[in-house]
C-alpha cells in the first residue's frame, strides 16, 4: 500500500458562495463576501462589516431537509460535507476504514446566545433545547450520523488553525495505515460572543479588511464550512480516478509566545513552514503559491511576513490572503483555504487579495491582485495560525 494521501473531492460553503462553483465564480468576478450584517443580531451591525453566508437558518434547513432548530454551525457543516461526499456511494465508502474529523471554535454558541436572551431576564425561562448542541463536538457527531458515516470520529479545536489540524490528523492517520478514507475540515458560524471578543481585542476593521497592506487595521469576521475527502492510494484507485491533488507536507508548531498573538519574529510560522517543506522534500523555490493566513491584523501580517521572508527571500512565490474575500472564518478557515489550495493545483489558479495598495514597511511581500487562470501550479503552501501560538502549514502538490 502506498503512503501518499490524496485529495479526492471537496465541499465548501462560504460568504462568497454556497458551493465550490459559486466560490470560484466570486473570485472570477472579484466579489468580496464582506458586507453589513444581515443575519447576526448584534448592536454592532452598523459598525463592523461581516462576511456572512448568504442564507438564513430556515433557508439552509429547507435546502438540506434539516431541522430548523439546529444550530447554524450544524447547518453549515452539513452543507459542505454533503457536497464533499456527493460523488461517492456511502455504503461502499463504509466498507473501508473511514473517519470524520471536523473542527470548530464556537460549536452551537449561536443557539446558546438565544437561550440566554430569555434566561437572564427570568431564570425560570429559556428553552434548554437551544443549548443541547453547544459543545464543539455536537456538530461533528450530528453531521457524521446524518451522512451515514461509520468509523473514527473526533473534533479538533485549536482556534484558527483548527481545521488545518483536522486535515493534518486525517493525513497522518491514512499515512500510518489506520484509516483509508477521511472527511476532514471544519466549520464556524458567526456569533455575538465572537464579534464582541475580537472587538475587545481591538482588531476588527470597520471597513473592508486589507491583509498584507501597510494600511491594515484589523480583520473582518466571517463564517462558513469546508471539507476535503482524503484517501489512501488503495481507496483512491477504487473511488476517485480523477484525483485533485495530494498532501505532500504538513507541520504543526507552537511558539508559546502569547495567548492571542504570534511572536514578533514569526518563529512559530517559520517553524511550521520549514517543517512542512522538510516533510515534503521540497525546496522553497518549488512552491508556486502561498495562501497566507493573512488576517489583516498588525501582529499576524507582520509576523507571518517576517517568517516568509526568512524562508523565501529574495525569490518569492505568488501569494495572497483569500480572507480578504471570505473574512476570517476562524476554525473553518484552514479547510476553506485547503479547498482553494486544492483548486489552485487542480485547475491552475492563483487567488488574489481583494485589495492591496502599499507593502508593509520593512518587508518585500506583495500579494497578487488579480485572479489568474491557466497558471502552472505544482505546489501550494497554505498557512493557518491560531491563538495560543498554534501554527500549522499544509502543502498541496500536483500528482
> 68 and 155 in contact (C-beta within 8 Å)?
no
Domain end: 239, 274, 303, which one?
A: 239
Smallest Cα–Cα separation from 111: which of 74, 148, 147? 74
Answer yes or no: do 195 and 272 share one domain.
Answer: no
Question: How confident is the model over 185-201, as pLDDT tens digits?
Answer: 999 999 999 999 999 99
DSSP state of 389: G
Answer yes or no: do 149 and 269 share one domain.
Answer: no
Answer yes or no: do 228 and 284 share one domain.
Answer: no
Residue-level pLDDT at 225? 98
User: Which run of H or of E encompasses 359?
Assistant: none
DSSP state of 219: B
Residue-level pLDDT at 1? 39
Domain end: 182, 214, 239, which one?
A: 239
> For residue 228, how many C-alpha atoms fall within 13 Å in the half-sphere facing its CB?
34
Give me the active site residues, please.
Answer: 160, 293, 328
The Cα–Cα gap between 34 and 252 comes to 30
| Residue length of the chain | 399
Q: Whose grid coordinates read 438540506?
A: 64
Smallest Cα–Cα separation from 223: which of 130, 315, 139? 139
Q: Output the DSSP codes for 116-132.
A: HHHHTT-TT-S-GGGGT
Residue-level pLDDT at 388? 82
Answer yes or no: do 235 and 254 share one domain.
Answer: no
Count the domains in the chain.
Answer: 2
Collapsing DSSP to helix, strand or coil, 187 comes out as strand
Residue-level pLDDT at 257? 78
What residues are paired with 34 via a beta bridge?
51
Residue 286 burial (10 A CB sphere; 0-12, 13-18, 19+): middle
Q: Which domain holds residue 213?
A: 5-239
Smallest Cα–Cα separation from 315: which of 298, 290, 279? 290
Q: Which three cell numbers mark 20?
A: 465550490
Answer yes or no: do 273 and 216 share one domain.
Answer: no
The Cα–Cα gap between 261 and 218 comes to 13
Answer yes or no: do 183 and 283 share one domain.
Answer: no
Answer yes or no: do 289 and 312 share one domain.
Answer: yes
Sign, Cα dihedral of 54, 59, 65, 67: positive
Answer yes or no: do 151 and 296 share one domain.
Answer: no
The enclosing domain of 299 has a CATH number of: 3.40.47.10
How large is the angle between the packed helices 109-119 and 192-200, nearest 10 degrees?
A: 90
Answer yes or no: do 53 and 107 share one domain.
Answer: yes
Answer yes or no: do 150 and 182 share one domain.
Answer: yes
Residue-level pLDDT at 387? 83
The Cα–Cα gap between 270 and 310 comes to 7
Domain end: 187, 211, 239, which one?
A: 239
Answer yes or no: do 310 and 227 share one domain.
Answer: no
- Whether pTM > 0.85 for this model: the answer is yes
Smallest Cα–Cα separation from 321: which of 298, 351, 348? 351
Q: What is the pLDDT along the chain (399 residues), one digit of tens a residue?
A: 358 999 999 999 999 999 999 999 999 999 999 999 999 999 999 999 999 999 999 999 999 999 999 999 999 999 999 999 999 999 999 999 999 999 999 999 998 888 888 878 887 777 777 788 888 999 999 999 999 999 999 999 999 999 999 999 999 999 999 999 999 999 999 999 999 999 999 999 999 999 999 999 999 999 999 999 999 999 999 987 789 999 999 999 998 877 778 888 889 999 999 999 999 999 999 999 999 999 999 999 999 999 999 999 999 999 999 999 999 999 999 999 999 999 999 999 999 999 999 999 999 999 999 999 999 999 999 999 988 889 999 999 999
The Cα–Cα gap between 167 and 138 comes to 19
Q: Whose grid coordinates read 434547513?
A: 61
Q: Which three cell numbers mark 366?
A: 506583495
Answer yes or no: do 271 and 368 share one domain.
Answer: yes
SS3 labels along 140-166: HHHHHHHHCCCEEEEEECECECHHHHH
Amino acid at each position: 500500500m502506498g503512503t501518499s494521501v490524496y485529495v479526492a473531492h471537496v465541499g465548501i460553503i462560504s460568504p462568497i458562495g454556497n458551493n465550490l462553483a459559486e466560490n470560484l465564480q466570486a473570485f472570477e468576478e472579484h466579489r468580496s463576501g464582506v458586507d453589513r450584517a444581515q443575519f447576526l443580531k448584534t448592536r454592532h451591525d452598523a459598525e463592523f462589516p461581516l462576511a456572512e453566508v448568504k442564507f438564513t437558518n430556515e433557508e439552509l434547513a429547507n435546502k438540506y431537509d434539516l431541522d430548523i432548530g439546529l444550530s447554524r454551525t450544524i447547518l453549515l457543516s452539513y452543507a459542505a460535507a454533503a457536497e464533499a461526499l456527493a460523488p461517492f456511494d456511502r455504503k461502499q465508502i463504509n466498507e473501508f476504514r473511514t473517519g470524520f474529523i471536523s473542527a470548530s471554535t464556537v460549536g452551537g454558541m449561536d443557539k446558546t446566545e438565544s437561550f440566554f436572551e430569555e434566561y437572564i431576564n427570568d431564570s425560570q425561562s429559556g428553552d434548554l433545547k437551544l443549548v443541547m448542541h453547544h459543545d464543539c463536538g455536537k456538530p461533528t457527531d450530528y453531521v457524521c450520523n446524518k451522512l451515514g458515516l461509520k468509523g473514527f470520529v473526533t473534533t479538533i479545536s485549536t482556534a484558527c488553525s483548527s481545521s488545518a489540524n483536522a486535515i493534518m490528523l486525517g493525513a497522518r492517520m491514512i499515512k500510518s495505515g489506520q484509516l483509508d478514507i477521511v472527511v476532514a475540515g471544519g466549520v464556524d458560524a458567526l456569533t455575538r460572543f465572537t464579534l464582541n471578543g475580537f472587538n475587545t481585542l481591538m482588531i476588527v476593521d470597520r471597513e473592508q479588511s486589507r491583509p498584507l497592506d501597510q494600511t491594515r487595521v484589523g480583520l473582518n469576521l466571517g463564517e462558513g464550512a469546508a471539507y476535503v475527502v482524503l484517501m489512501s492510494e488503495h481507496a483512491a484507485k477504487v473511488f476517485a480516478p480523477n484525483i485533485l491533488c495530494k498532501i505532500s507536507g504538513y507541520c504543526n508548531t507552537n511558539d508559546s509566545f502569547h495567548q492571542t498573538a504570534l511572536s514578533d519574529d514569526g518563529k512559530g510560522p517559520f517553524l511550521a513552514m520549514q517543517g512542512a517543506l522538510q516533510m515534503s522534500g521540497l525546496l522553497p523555490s518549488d512552491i508556486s503559491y502561498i495562501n497566507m493566513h493573512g488576517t489583516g491584523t498588525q501582529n499576524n501580517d507582520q509576523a507571518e511576513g517576517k517568517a516568509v521572508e526568512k524562508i523565501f527571500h529574495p525569490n518569492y512565490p505568488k501569494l495572497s490572503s483569500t480572507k480578504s474575500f471570505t473574512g476570517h472564518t476562524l476554525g473553518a478557515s484552514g479547510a476553506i483555504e485547503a479547498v482553494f489550495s486544492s483548486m489552485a493545483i487542480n485547475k491552475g489558479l492563483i487567488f488574489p487579495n481583494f485589495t492591496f495598495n502599499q507593502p508593509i514597511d520593512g518587508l518585500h511581500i506583495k500579494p497578487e491582485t488579480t485572479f489568474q487562470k491557466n497558471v502552472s501550479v505544482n505546489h501550494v503552501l497554505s498557512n493557518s495560525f491560531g491563538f495560543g501560538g498554534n501554527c500549522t502549514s499544509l502543502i498541496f502538490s500536483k500528482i
